[in-house]
Each structure stands twice: as C-alpha cells, then as structure tokens.
A and B are shown apart, each in its own frame.
Chain A
C-alpha cells in the first residue's frame, strides 16, 4: 500500500505540472503564430507603401 501511495503522490504532482506545462506550450505556440502573422503583415504593408511611391 505504501509504495502505491508514494507512486500516486508523484503521479499527482506530475499531472498538475503536465497540465500547466501544456498550457504554457499552447501559449508559446500561439505566440509564434502571432509573431509570424505580425511580421508578414508589416512586410506586406511596407511593400505596398513602397509601391505607392
């Protein structure tokens, strides 16, 4: 019983941290996507303004 008790305690810790890590990973992925979109749009606008001149 005691060994199982200990194992489950670690599973519990692991579960909590995995969930938080998953959210952080989602945040990081979203950040990369947004930065890419932002840079692409900024470049697009620069090109369009150069064309107008």
Chain B
C-alpha cells in the first residue's frame, strides 16, 4: 500500500476512535452489574478478533508461500503474525485488568484468556524459529509449516480448554451472549479502527521485509564486486 493510502487509513481510524471514545465515555450508560469497567470490553474483544484474523491471514499467506514459493507471501505472513501478536498482548493485558477489578485476581483460567495465552506462546515460537534460521527460503518454509500447524491448533486448544473448564468452573472474563444492542453496536464500531490500524501496521511491516530482501540482494552484489 502506498504512503498516502496509509495516512488516509490512519486518519480514518483516529477519527472513528475519537468519536467512539466520546460515545463510549459520555453517552453510553454504565453496565448494571459491573459498572464502568465493562467498557474495557470495547477494546478487549475487538483486539482478540483482530489478533485471530491476523493469525488466520498468516496461515493463508504461509499456504500461498508453500504453493508458489514467492517470498512476498512469507513477508505478509510474518507481518500479520507480529501485528496479531501485538493485539493478542493487548487483549491479555485488558483481560487481566478486567479480572483484577471484577474478581480481585490478576489471572483466571478462563477458556478465552487461556487460549489466547497459548496462542501467544505458539506465535512467539514462530518468531523465535524465524530468528534461528538464516537462509531466507529455508526460513520461509519452516515458518510456513509452523504457522499452518499453529492456526489449526488454535480452535482445538480453545475447545479443549473450554471442556476442561466446564469440569472445574473458574471466573469467566466475559460471558458474552445477551448484551444491550447499543453495546453490541459499539463493539463492532470499535473493531473498525482497530482493523484499520492493524492493516496499516501490517502494510508497513511487509514493506520492511521487502527492503530487507533488497538489502540482502545488494550485499550479495557488493560481495561479488
């Protein structure tokens, strides 16, 4: 994506975010049982959605790389994985703060929080693997395999932990289900700026990967001369 497009998208995101914050803090009523802290949901949940979208896109990019062997797909995969990981971290942090106020504990083995934590560990492993392999196409192949396996594993992890937690019920960070329609609307409306920002960050990171490859090519030429 070109520079001007990125700036426009950023501007759009900022504007929407400002409008949402105004509505969120000044117009929407407090949630009945939890109070003001419930508003954290407007960042907590869309951050999770963005993270999962990132990981899914990474698996897609990885599959495309394995099929076509073009390094730009690998560049895309690492970019969306990193962005996804950033949003996942934001989701975990907001979840912990929420749990602290509502339940008085920093961590709860809530199925969603736990699955997100496992996700973070999986994709941190993906990034660690990339650092361990130097040759670009070898790195891309190994990373692609891990990305695809991790993506398939995530739903399985979620279901297994949810079943496990039904046997030993723990505090659940957000029950979901019935919620005021105004809240639902704000939830989706706040997802848009996060998606836009995520897309901008991923575009910047993908571009950086392209430059990195250019650097490697120039280095080879410099050595040859």
Which chain A residues have a beta carbon within 8 Å of chain B's beta carbons?
Answer: 1-2, 4-6, 8-9, 11-13, 15-16, 19-20, 22-24, 27, 30-31, 34-35, 37-38, 41-42, 44-45, 48-49, 52
Smallest CB gap from A41: residue in B: B218
How distant is the Cα of A6 from the Cα of B25 in the complex, in angstroms?
A: 10
Q: Does B185 contact A (CB under 8 A)?
A: no
Please, which residues of chain B bring their CB within 8 A of the CB of A4? Answer: 101
Give the segment of B131-139, B143-151, B152-160, B206-214 that binds chain A.
Answer: B206-214
Please, which residues of chain B bring their CB within 8 A of the CB of A11? Answer: 97
Contact A38 B215 (CB under 8 A): yes
Please, which residues of chain A bring their CB within 8 A of the CB of B32? Answer: none
The 8 closest A-B pairs by CB, nearest first: A12-B40, A23-B86, A15-B93, A16-B90, A41-B218, A12-B97, A8-B101, A5-B35
Q: Does B82 contact A (CB under 8 A)?
A: yes
With known contacts A2-B35, A8-B100, A23–B82 Cβ distance under 8 A: yes
How distant is the Cα of A22 from the Cα of B82 in the complex, in angstroms?
A: 12
Q: Which of B116-150 contact A (CB under 8 A)?
A: none
Please pick, from A12, A16, A48, the residue contacting B222 in the complex, using a CB distance under 8 A. Answer: A48
Contact A9 B201 (CB under 8 A): no
Smallest CB gap from A6: residue in B: B36
Smallest CB gap from B211: residue in A: A34
Decide if the interface of chain B is mainly helix, strand, loop or mixed: helix
Contact A8 B86 (CB under 8 A): no
Contact A9 B204 (CB under 8 A): no
Q: Does B108 contact A (CB under 8 A)?
A: no
- 21 contacting pairs across A/B (C-beta < 8 A): A2-B36, A4-B101, A5-B35, A6-B36, A8-B97, A13-B40, A15-B93, A16-B47, A19-B86, A19-B90, A20-B90, A20-B197, A23-B86, A27-B205, A31-B204, A34-B211, A34-B212, A38-B211, A38-B214, A41-B218, A48-B225
User: Per-residue CB proximity of B18-54 to A under 8 Å, as 1/0?
Assistant: 0000000000000000011101100110010000000
Contact A45 B218 (CB under 8 A): yes
Smallest CB gap from A42: residue in B: B218
Contact A15 B97 (CB under 8 A): yes
Please, which residues of chain B bring their CB within 8 A of the CB of A52? Answer: 225
Please, which residues of chain A bring their CB within 8 A of the CB of B214? Answer: 38
Smallest CB gap from A45: residue in B: B222
Q: Does B89 contact A (CB under 8 A)?
A: yes
Please, which residues of chain B bring their CB within 8 A of the CB of A48? Answer: 222, 225
Please, which residues of chain B bring their CB within 8 A of the CB of A20? Answer: 86-87, 90, 197
Looking at the assembled complex, report how far the CB atom of B196 sits from the nearest CB atom of chain A, in whole angstroms.
12
Please, which residues of chain B bring their CB within 8 A of the CB of A9? Answer: 36-37, 39-40
